[in-house]
Amino acid sequence: METHNRPSEVIPAPETGEEDIDRARLLIDAANELLDEGGLEGLTIRAVLKRTGLARRAFYERFAGKDGLVLAVFEETLLQAAQMFADQIRHIDDPLKTVEIIVTGLLSGALDRAGELTERRVAAMVREHLRLAESCPNELQAALDPLLDIIAEEVTKGIGTGQFRKCDPHLQATLIYNLVATTVHTELLMQEGGNVDRSRDKQFGEEIWEFCRRAIVA
């Protein structure tokens, strides 16, 4: 059984260069593939090394442990999500609509555009969120910042137009994300226990958005 080391930052090799970047890329790509194929259960250091053909030393030159690799995947996944949402809302002038798009997109896990993200990887990241929030909160916060910044920017716009009540935009963005993440986490646990009712997914998403909407509107 592999342990999750608390230090989670990427550790550079003694001499950094293109080879080091390429090896880090190989490790992250392998982690993504393993998450896509088997979820968290399939993501182990041994499996990553077997997939990449790299030695264990090469792994620990770049990551302090499995948590470091998971955080790298988490950071990349959230950055892709932030970029996707930024593209989706770029030409929408209504802040309420843009926040709705982000919230419902996160809830539905609709982050698999062009095969970039899969449902299993999204599920794994949601499940790991709460654990990482305890073991390495600062690193997790840094990974969340791109997505939270987009939500906060839209909240700021909504305050400016008078649609949203006056508040701390970044705090509001954090509360919205945490609500979505913990709610999805609970749903995934229920599904793992066999309590799956896909017919209520749409209504469930609408109810969560309505809860968020009432919290932010003026």
Question: How does pLDDT run along the chain (218 residues), one tens digit per residue?
Answer: 454 544 444 444 444 455 666 889 999 999 989 988 887 888 899 999 999 999 999 999 999 899 899 999 888 888 888 999 999 999 999 999 999 999 988 887 643 443 445 566 666 777 777 788 888 889 989 999 999 999 999 999 999 999 999 999 999 999 999 888 888 777 666 665 555 555 566 677 788 899 999 999 98
CA contacts within 13 A on the Cβ side of 113: 12
> Which CA distances in Å does 168 have to 21, 133, 156, 179, 187?
38, 21, 9, 17, 29
Instruction: Could you please state the CATH topology (level 3) that the domain comprising 70-216 is classified under.
Output: Tetracycline Repressor; domain 2 (1.10.357)
Residues linked to residue 164 through DSSP beta bridges, in sequence order: 217
Q: Would you state the pLDDT for residue 38?
A: 80
What are the domain boundaries of the chain?
70-216
